[in-house]
Each structure stands twice: as C-alpha cells, then as structure tokens.
Structure 1
Amino acid sequence: MNLRTELTQLIKTRAGELGFSFCGISRARRLDEEASRLEQWLKEGRHGKMAYMENHFDKRLDPRLLVDGARSVVSLLINYYPSAAEKYTSPLKVSKYAWGADYHTVIREKLYVLTGLLQEKAGEFNFRVFTDSAPVLDRAWAVNAGLGWIGNNTMMITRRHGSFFFIAEIITDLEFDYDQPFGGNYCGDCTRCIDACPTGAIIGPRQLDASRCISYLNIELKDEIPAEFNGKVNDWIFGCDICQDVCPWNRFSLANTEVQFSPAGEWVEWSRDAWEHLEKPVFGSVFGKSALKRAGFKKLKNNVTFAGHSFIDESGYGKDSD
C-alpha cells in the first residue's frame, strides 16, 4: 500500500472516530463551473449587504490561492441534528445549529487533532483548516468530494441523513486517493422549501436571494430589518430552519453524538418576556461561548423586538404571544 492510500484510510478512519459523519477528498483546482454562477449572483445583488462576499473572488474559486502548493481539499461533515430528548421550548426561535457551543470552536479543535494525526504519519506538511471562516465554497467542495448534492434550498444534502450538517475543510499540499464528485440532483420536482419560505428568499430551484433570507435578516444584516418583512420572520430571532425542516430528505436525520452541540443553558426555555428583558451583562455570560454572540447584543434585542411584530399575520388576525 502506498503512502497516499495509507493517508486516505487514516484520515477517513480518524475523522469518524472524532465524530465527523462523512469525509470526502477532492483534488485542489479552480472551480470553473462555479465562477459564472457566483459572478451573476453578486451582480444581481443577491448577497444583500454582505460586502465581504465581493472580496477574494478568485480565492473563493481556487483553494491553491489560499494554501501554497495545495493539492487536496478534504471535506468533512459533522451532524448537529438534536435528539428527541433535546427540547427547545422558547416561543422565540433559534436555529438548531446554535443551541450548543459555538461550532467554530468545537470543529476547529477536531480539525487540529486530525491534522496532528496526519503529521505523525506524513511528517510536516502545509495546510489550513476552515470552518465557515474564510472564502471557501464549502458546499461546492462537498459535492466535489462525493458527499451529496446542492438542494433546491441551496443546502448540501446527503442521501443518507439529510442536511443538518456543518461543513469543514482541510486544504493541504498532501496527496490522497480522490473521491468522485456526486452525480445527480435528487430533489426532483419537490418545491416544499420554496413554498414554505415566508419571505420568498428561495426564488427558484437552487436560487437564493440571500437579502430576503431570515438568517441574513437576523444575523448578517447590521441595519434594521426592513418593514416589508414585518409579520414574516415567524418568531425567528437567530437563524432559520424552515427550508430544512420541511425537506423530505431530513426525515432520515439522526441525532448527533457531540455533547457540545446539546442545548447549553436554560435560555432554550426562556419566555418571550425573558428575551425582551435580556440585559447586556447577561447576554455576555449566557452567550459568550455560543454562536449567538456573532449577532451581538444590540442586534439580538432588535430581532426580539421585530419578532413581536409577527403577532399580527397577513390575514389581519392576531396571533397568540406564546
């Protein structure tokens, strides 16, 4: 067995032992097939006020510009779907991925353990690890590594267990045995995600107007949420799971086994009143190690206030507050 095959078997075995659900590897190259799609998306302003999406265009397409001598992109998925015992009962909603500890920290630690194990076998090598933290087209690389396809909701979907996964990468100058890209799209003529999006952010199969996405509105957008979305955020104050919750493929989702992704603290049971009276020192102590800190105190409070507008739905009938 040659070293490349040994390293391939090692990284996939160890990744599973560290809690990663899937591991696929593709050759580092320029994603020419994504270039025109990304350019058009930006030109149409679908990224809203996420100006950083306009930066590093070439680096987003070519990992060899991120890591000198890069030969391989290792794509890893880790499940965050909660178990039946993990309940979220607060009337104001937070996306499942943010119930526990900040995934950036949890996953990064695992990636460094994994690269350390590789170094024991291969010696020193050049690499960088990524957890939604750099100009990397994670979903495209996951497809290239054979892990799944881009669904109509623009999420990366696996045939075995749906889409509730974080995606991470190791870009390195090591060579491996490469996986074949995933072939086909298994959404068919299903439009449940498109039909269910209350803000009309999914404008067609695999077409997202991020400027209308609830997750953009309550995390990325630093300005006030536009009045046109009054009554349409459905009580989501951080992120949104609607397009994943309605996806038929997620009936195959399995509970995650990472304890750090379990609900951390009593805030998952907070009443609407508790959210409304949240103060900055409490925000820091409760959410200091959570993904919610990304929004910041002021933004989260504004989201809570804006969610209160949803008491009156489009039909004009009042909604219950709890």
Structure 2
Amino acid sequence: MKFDQSQIAIHIKKKALELGFISCGISRAGYLNEEKSRLEKWLQNGMNGEMNYMSRNQEKRLDPTLLFDGAKSVISVLLNYFPKEGQEDSAAPIISKYAYGKDYHFVLKEKLNALLEYIQNEIADCNGRTFVDSAPVLDKAWAAKAGLGWIGKNTNLISVEHGSFFFIGELIVDLEMEPDEKIVSNHCGNCTRCIDACPTNAIVAPYVVDARRCISYQTIELKGDLDENLKGKFANRVFGCDICQDVCPWNLKSEPHNEPDFEPHPRLLKLSNKDWEEMDKSLFNELFRKSAVKRTKYEGLKRNLQFLKDDSSS
C-alpha cells in the first residue's frame, strides 16, 4: 500500500474530480437493511411494471458482497449532465436532457475504469468492479450512504451543491477504506412541487413512484402499447421526462456540464416539430447512433411520436 490508510480516500476523491466527476463518496460494503422493506413493498404492489429485472436478484441488490467476492468498500460518484442549451422549437416533442449526448453507460464506465486503474496502480493492489445502472445495485441508496445527497420525494438523489441532474456510478473494491460518516439530512421539507407537477400522477406518495404511470417508463421501458389511460398527459415528452427535476428548487443550482461526450448532435436541438414527425430511420440512426435513445429503437420512438400526435388531435 502506497498511502497511509487515512490518506487513501483523499487521493481517490481527488482523482475522481480530475476525471470529471462532480462528487465522490465512500461507504462500507454491507447489507442495506433500510431499503429491504421499501423494495419488497414496491415490488409486491407491482409498481415495477414490466421491469421484471427489478424483482430478480433481490439479495444481490441489497448486498454488494454477493455481487463482488470480497467486497469491502463502495465508491460512489456523480457525473453532471445538465446541458448548456435546450431544444429550440418549443412545440417539438421533448427528450430528456440526459439523452442529448453519448450514452452515459459508456462515458461513466470509461471514467470508473480509469479510477479503478489509478487505485490499483497508485494506491494498493486490489480487485474491483464498476457498475453503471446495468447490474442489481441500488445506486441512489449507496450514494446517499456515502453522503452525496438525500433521496427526494421524486425518488431522485438530490445534492445540496449540485441539484439532481447527474448520473450515479459505483466502484466496488476489496480494499478496506475509511467510510464517509456524513449523512445528508432530507431537505425536501414541506415542498411538494415534484408531486404536484407530475402530469401522470406517478409520484403516488412522497418517496414512492409507480413506474407504470411514469412517462420515462412508458416511453423507454415499456415494450408494447402505451397506456391509453395516460392519453393527453405526456406533456409532449417523447423519450424520458425531466418534469419532476425541472420544478425542484434544488436544481436552480444546476450548472452546465463540461463533458464533451454529452454534447448533442449539431442537428438535435434544432429539430422542429415537423422534423420529428417526418423522422425516418436514417435520420434516427444519424442523430442517436451513440445515444441512450437507441434503447427505444426507431420503432419505439415512432410509437411514442404517434401517441403524442393522437394526444394533440383528440
């Protein structure tokens, strides 16, 4: 080991900031007791919809030592994606800000791999595994445990310094470290702006989101027909939704990212309503070749566009 035990976390956090992360925190790997009953109740009520993967590997989701052999510490990081500019045509279908640039899975993973490499080369001989939203890890719970923010009433992690327009990633290592003892208290108070603003009433209670009613779930995760009961309630959202974040007072603190990979395709923000309606597969592939929008595929985007069109004509 090249650093004193008390110095390891300091150097890791410094390197994380150098790599472009806006925040980094460390927690001890172990069982997430508090999240167990909340997750079970949410699943029992069927609020995961067609996201069957949420009901699989529940024990692994609650205990990272089952995900990675010898896990001792969870390093949580935040990466800002708040854009400098938005879509120009106010009548055009709206896509979530996180999908403007390159798919975050690749960007975040590359940075986390670089952080792991740094730890292995400069700090200690250890093993680790990176996680970006693609394995059974409760990323918001771990970030909160590491003192990076609190879980808001819209179930997003909110940071006092940065708001909530960021991605969360984890690096689980078999290296013993001093965990961050800081726990950020809940600053939502009596505010219900996110609950009041949700057009589909997906936030069914403070800190509880029924995914089946969420525009993000409907436009991205759902594979079949969109819910006819939600007709006229999509607020022109065609891929994802930022409404509960846009109205959050803590996002007044949001500052534009400086990550080149998150810059949008030059044509994307200029698309008119007509451009979206007439989008063919070749334009879709050009605009979203490396974007998270690829998840819904061309057919899925056209389905969403037709749903919005039916909304406006009904």
Residue 238 (structure 1) aligns with: 239
- Taking the aligned partners of 1:294 and 1:7, their CA distance within structure 2 comes to 38
- Taking the aligned partners of 2:58 and 2:127, their CA distance within structure 1 comes to 23
Q: Which runs of 4+ in 1 moved over 3 A?
A: none
Q: CA deviation at 1:269?
A: 1.7
Residue 119 (structure 1) aligns with: 120
Asked whether the 8 Å contact 1:198–1:233 carries over to 2, the reply is yes
Q: Secondary structure at the match of 2:79?
A: strand
Unpaired runs of at least 5, structure 1: 314-322
Instruction: Note closer, same or farther for the CA distance 1:9–1:241 as it changes in structure 2 (3 Å cut).
Output: same
Asked whether the 8 Å contact 1:149–1:184 carries over to 2, the reply is yes
Unpaired runs of at least 5, structure 2: none
- Taking the aligned partners of 2:293 and 2:182, their CA distance within structure 1 comes to 34
Post-superposition CA distance 1:266-291 (Å, at most 9, x none): 02221222222222233223211011
Give matches, 1:1-322, under 5 Å.
3-83=4-84, 86-90=85-89, 91-311=92-312
- Taking the aligned partners of 2:10 and 2:186, their CA distance within structure 1 comes to 28
- Aligned positions, number: 311
Q: CA deviation at 1:48?
A: 0.8
- Taking the aligned partners of 2:86 and 2:170, their CA distance within structure 1 comes to 30
Q: CA deviation at 1:2?
A: 5.2
Asked whether the 8 Å contact 2:108–2:132 carries over to 1, the reply is yes
Post-superposition CA distance 1:292-315 (Å, at most 9, x none): 1011111111011111133258xx
Task: State the AA in 2 paired with 1:135.
Answer: P
Task: State the AA in 1 paired with 2:7.
Answer: E
Q: Secondary structure at the match of 1:299?
A: helix
Q: CA deviation at 1:82?
A: 1.4
Task: State the AA in 2 paired with 1:88.
Answer: Q
Q: CA deviation at 1:181?
A: 4.7
Asked whether the 8 Å contact 1:156–1:163 carries over to 2, the reply is yes
RMSD between aligned residues: 1.4
- Taking the aligned partners of 2:271 and 2:3, their CA distance within structure 1 comes to 56
Asked whether the 8 Å contact 1:153–1:205 carries over to 2, the reply is yes
Q: Secondary structure at the match of 2:195?
A: helix
Post-superposition CA distance 1:67-103 (Å, at most 9, x none): 10000000000111112xx231241101000111111
Post-superposition CA distance 1:213-257 (Å, at most 9, x none): 000000000111011111100111110000000001111111111
Residue 316 (structure 1) aligns with: none
Asked whether the 8 Å contact 1:7–1:121 carries over to 2, the reply is no
- Taking the aligned partners of 1:78 and 1:253, their CA distance within structure 2 comes to 12
Which shows bigger deviation, 6-15 or 56-65?
6-15
Question: How high is the sequence identity, in percent, across the aligned residues?
Answer: 50
Task: State the AA in 2 paired with 1:89.
Answer: E
Asked whether the 8 Å contact 2:267–2:287 carries over to 1, the reply is no
- Taking the aligned partners of 2:212 and 2:309, their CA distance within structure 1 comes to 21
Asked whether the 8 Å contact 1:127–1:171 carries over to 2, the reply is yes
Task: State the AA in 2 paired with 1:292.
Answer: V
Task: State the AA in 2 paired with 1:288.
Answer: R
- Taking the aligned partners of 1:132 and 1:253, their CA distance within structure 2 comes to 22
Asked whether the 8 Å contact 1:231–1:312 carries over to 2, the reply is no
